[in-house]
Amino acid sequence: MNSGIIGSHSLIAELIGRNGIWHFTDTRSMQRSLDTLVGAVYLPSGLDREALLDALLAREEMASTAIGNGIAVPHVRRFESGSLHEDMVVVAYLMKPVDWKAPDGLPVHTLFLVLARDEATHLQLLADIAKLASDDSFVKFLKSMPERNALVERIKAFEESGAARS
């Protein structure tokens, strides 16, 4: 069983390894960035891109998914979970940071799109990403826009260092 960054196996590293990293240049706004992200990523058959985008935008209207330090975690709870056959975490680097109404006022440079099949996994992934986002050296590393393998290895090293449990 995957238990997230706090446990013995990093689910987030596994999912990023599976789903990859994107670099976006057309990031004029939060809406445009989400539209570009949803249009680019692989979605399982049965998941409607337009409905997903609408759900993500509606979530942003409720409250920003920016968590500070230039990171946002667009997500929706239980979005068409019957059509979602596996959990997804997709990373997108924004070449030009975007105002995402972050609590710290900083523009967002990195997105972690989270889609989970169940609420427990959804909450665990959000907690894992928040823990990573609170580490200054990890945030600095993210700003360098590392490739997938480097990012996965850094997350695993973060976990092994014990930083995830502090």
* Active-site residue list: 75
Structure tokens at 129: 């990403």
Question: Are the C-beta atoms of residues 45 and 117 closer than 8 Å to each other?
Answer: no
Q: What is the C-alpha separation between 30 and 123, in angstroms, rounded? A: 23
The crossing angle, in degrees rounded to 10, of helices 148-160 and 136-143 is 170
Closest CA to 89 of 144, 127, 46, 145: 127
